[in-house]
A and B are shown apart, each in its own frame.
Chain A
Amino acid sequence: MTDTSKYLSHLELGERDETFLDSNELVINMGPQHPATHGVLRVILKLDGEKVLGTECVIGYLHRGVEKIAENRTYTMFNPYVDRMDYVAAVSNGLGYCEAVEKLLNVEAPPRAKYIRVILTELNRIASHQLWLGTHALDIGAITPLFYTFRDREEILKIFEKYCGARLTTHAFRIGGCQYETYDGFEREVKKFVDFVRPKIDEYEELLTTNRIWVERTKGVGVISDKDSIALGVTGPVLRASGVKWDIRKAQPYAAYSEMDFEIPTGTHGDTYDRYLVRMAEMRQALRIISQAVEKIPEGPIMAKIPKVLKPPVGEIYHSIEAPKGELGYFVVSDGSTQPYRVRVRPPSFVNLQALDLMVRGQLVADVIAVIGTLDIVLGEVDR
């Protein structure tokens, strides 16, 4: 048994009575091998019976030093690495990185490339939310939605595979645009997918939205106020469910989002149920964006004119996009050489995970699971 006390300094644990019959507090270790911590998150829980007195997240089990690797790779070579951070939304990661470097190079992707980027990123948003819904529902005990969502997510992965040959770590975009032109029938297939998945989202909602047990398990659980969310830097659906209408696609439009017509769904209570509703609404909005983009996609080149060897001018840039989980930012520093001097990633999962302790204090063990699920973290991104 490992000594957990050194992690628990801020939990005011004090001296522990070593007898087994100590009835005061129970410290249990959840993870890194645990069915509901979504990977290798380790949470140390201090319990009073079933009540959570405090938590401590121990992260780093999936640390691969992605940011350090960037310093030893050229700008182009580092591109595939970012797919491995949030591996359920690899397309968004790539988009953020490519746009950051493009900004640094002072080039802009051609309109057609921007539209392809929007379509694929929004498809990825749906895939990511579907995976979230399946695993979140599974954590709360509803095992059936998982299979429904995975069945439908498969269709998205098939489109990715046809477009760029990979299903998960897609490496779909290049700095300056896209490497591949869309395949024959891409638009038709995407439209077909939109028509296919719309009723499926209703199907998920049918299983859960009015399910009494689901509502009881999620309403009023893991509440976080708008003030706390902003103070902790929480972004994405978690922030919007607390009633803050903040979406980078609207606030600082990138790619072709300024030409799209969509709404930002927000919640009011900031609880798990609202976050669920917000994400469900976001999936519908994503479908709306996709069908607009497919209609409006212009003809033309897909790659901007960029040099073979990328040597951005000395300088630094921060560029962020709205990834499915929140604000995904890249801070890239260039020293004028072919390799970035420093790449710092602002991963939404990592920042959102900070809110866990605040959200579960005073609640029950079962709620910790629900809250980890509702935060929608991916450990690849938390640990990088």
Chain B
Amino acid sequence: MRDYFYSYLKSDATPGAAGNMLWAFIYIMLIFMGLSIAVIAMNWLERKVLAHMQVRLGPMRVGPHGLLQPIADAIKLLIKEDIMPAEADKLVFWMAPLIVVTTAFTTFIVVPFGPQHAVTDMNIGILFMLGVSSLGVLGIVMAGWASNSHYPLIGALRSSAQMVSYEVAMGLAVVSAVLMTSLHGAGIYATGGGSGMGTLSMIEIVRAQQEQQAWFAFKFFPLGLVAMFVFAVAMVAETNRAPFDLPEAESELTAGFHTEYSGFRWSLFFLAEYSAMIAVSSILVTLWLGGWLRPFPNLLAGPTWDLVFSLFPGLTFLALAGLTSGFGALLGLIGLILFISPVRAWVQDIYWFVAKVAVFMYLYIWYRGTFPRYRFDQLMKVGWKVLLPTGLGVLIVTAIVGVL
């Protein structure tokens, strides 16, 4: 048993690929916990950042700067009365949030937080991720249908139409990134080495970026950037967030598909929405922004720079400790632990991945504070008439440029 436990630490594959079920289980648990904490943190951050954009303070009462507010809210939701509308389709109503939350969490099986920090490495990783996250729409349609009420029904219809149409653009952008894994280009577009083998595996896609010494966002400039942009817009629509939050447009449909949900069931939708946001941001970071790779691996190369960049996680925590008063000591301690050499090596991949995802999570909040909401027909127009042709064009041009 002990050997089984320690043998994995010496390998540099994912637990799934190494066939180590114990570690796979540990990873699943870690991701589950980490994701829940991330959702809680995101909840707090969204309220605080949004509040400061809107010249107010946000939660301030529960804990220092309202840090415990999400926990208080979670407790409130858990102990609320469980209400199910009398006219609802009981079984479907009960299953909908489960499906939504399961699909949102399942996608994280293949998300590579580092070369060995993923539950498993599938050779169709990106397809799996897109496929499973698209299943979420099923739960939303079920929720809208089962509520047996007009507003949720309209919300669910909007939602499914929206998610289906934006998935097309999303898929095209993803294909162009996948194409880049096998293409080297010529002339000004020439990139570094690499096996030249195309791949759908999330880990291999990041490795391809490492070998070609270019994040795909900057490959075949500006093609990679445009593809990333298409994906970045589509992913906001896919997760039903502002300015594409029509399915739950508060001013129109009260709460859209989850109007009839309350308490714990509602909190599952909430959990799913935020983990879906993290999931699609992870796809974007993996495909275009080098996943776990640290910035400037070729400009600032060498062991000294490696050391400097590996100190970043600890420094971040120390900086946070300096900013906060109550939790400062705890954060500082974590920061110091992260300076220890083996921990440092182990954690830095995760750090860079999470930092990149965090940028997109911030963007989500920023969009919400800035944009009004699209109307349904305008949303469809953006999806089919702007993003789809752009994605298709990028795909074709990428193929041509790559073959030249």
Binding site for B on A (CB under 8 A): 20, 26, 28-29, 34-36, 50, 137-144, 146-148, 151, 207-208, 211, 213-214, 216-217, 364-367, 369
Contact = CB atoms under 8 A, between A and B. Distances in A.
B371 A141 contact: yes
Interface of B: 50, 53-56, 148, 150-151, 154, 158, 242-243, 245-246, 249-252, 254, 368-378
Top 8 A-B residue pairs of the complex, sorted by shortest distance between their CB atoms:
A141-B373, A36-B251, A147-B54, A142-B372, A141-B372, A139-B251, A28-B150, A140-B372
Given A28-B150, A365-B154, A366-B252, A141 B243 contact: yes
Contacts of B243: 141, 213
A369 B250 CA distance: 11
Contacts of A143: 50, 54, 368-369
A217 B54 CA distance: 22
Nearest to A207: B370
Contact of A141 (B53, B151, B245, B377): B245
A367 B373 CA distance: 11
B369 A216 contact: no
Contacts of A20: 148
B254 A217 contact: no
A144 B370 contact: yes
Given A28-B151, A142-B372, A364 B377 contact: yes
A217 B373 contact: yes
B251 A138 contact: yes
Contacts of A148: 54-55
24 contacts: A26-B154, A28-B150, A28-B154, A35-B251, A50-B376, A141-B243, A141-B371, A141-B373, A142-B370, A142-B371, A142-B372, A144-B53, A144-B54, A144-B369, A148-B54, A207-B370, A213-B243, A213-B372, A216-B374, A217-B374, A365-B154, A366-B249, A366-B252, A367-B375
Given A34-B254, A147-B54, A364-B377, A26 B150 contact: yes
B251 A211 contact: no
A367 B376 CA distance: 10
A40 to B, nearest CB: 15
Contacts of A139: 251
B375 A217 contact: yes
B161 to A, nearest CB: 10
Contact of A366 (B148, B150, B254, B376): B376
A214 B375 CA distance: 10
A213 B375 CA distance: 9
A18 to B, nearest CB: 14
Given A141-B243, A143-B54, A211-B371, A364 B376 contact: yes
Contacts of B50: 143
Contacts of B55: 147-148, 151
A256 B72 CA distance: 56
Contact of A213 (B54, B369, B373): B373
Given A144-B370, A146-B54, A213-B372, 13 more contacts: A26-B154, A50-B154, A138-B251, A140-B372, A141-B249, A141-B371, A141-B374, A143-B368, A213-B243, A213-B378, A217-B373, A366-B246, A367-B375
Nearest to A142: B372
Contacts of A29: 150
A369 to B, nearest CB: 5
Contacts of B371: 141-142, 211, 213
Given A50-B376, A211-B371, A217-B372, A141 B251 contact: yes
A171 to B, nearest CB: 30
Contact of B373 (A140, A144, A208): A140
Contacts, number: 86
Contacts of B372: 137, 140-142, 208, 211, 213-214, 217
A178 B117 CA distance: 75
Contacts of A366: 246, 249, 252, 373, 375-376
Contacts of B251: 35-36, 138-141, 369
Contacts of B378: 213, 216-217
A34 B158 CA distance: 19
Contacts of A141: 242-243, 245, 249, 251, 371-374
B220 to A, nearest CB: 28
Contacts of B56: 147
Given A26-B150, A36-B251, A138-B251, A364 B375 contact: yes
A99 to B, nearest CB: 37
A146 to B, nearest CB: 8
A35 B254 contact: yes
A216 B373 CA distance: 10
A364 B377 CA distance: 9
Nearest to B371: A213
Nearest to B87: A1
Contacts of B250: 35-36
B243 to A, nearest CB: 6
Contacts of B375: 216-217, 364, 366-367
Nearest to A33: B254
Contacts of A36: 250-252
Contacts of B368: 143
Contacts of B148: 20
A365 B252 contact: yes
A26 B150 CA distance: 8
Contacts of A214: 372
A216 B378 CA distance: 8
A257 to B, nearest CB: 34
Contacts of B242: 141
Contacts of A140: 251, 372-373
Contacts of B252: 36, 365-366, 369
B86 to A, nearest CB: 11
Nearest to B158: A50
A85 B377 CA distance: 38
Contacts of B376: 50, 364-366
B229 to A, nearest CB: 16
Contacts of B377: 50, 364
Nearest to B153: A26
Contacts of B154: 26, 28, 50, 365
A184 to B, nearest CB: 30
A137 B369 CA distance: 12
B66 to A, nearest CB: 17
B385 to A, nearest CB: 13
A139 B249 CA distance: 9
A204 to B, nearest CB: 13
Contacts of B373: 140-142, 213, 217, 366
B299 to A, nearest CB: 36
Nearest to B374: A213
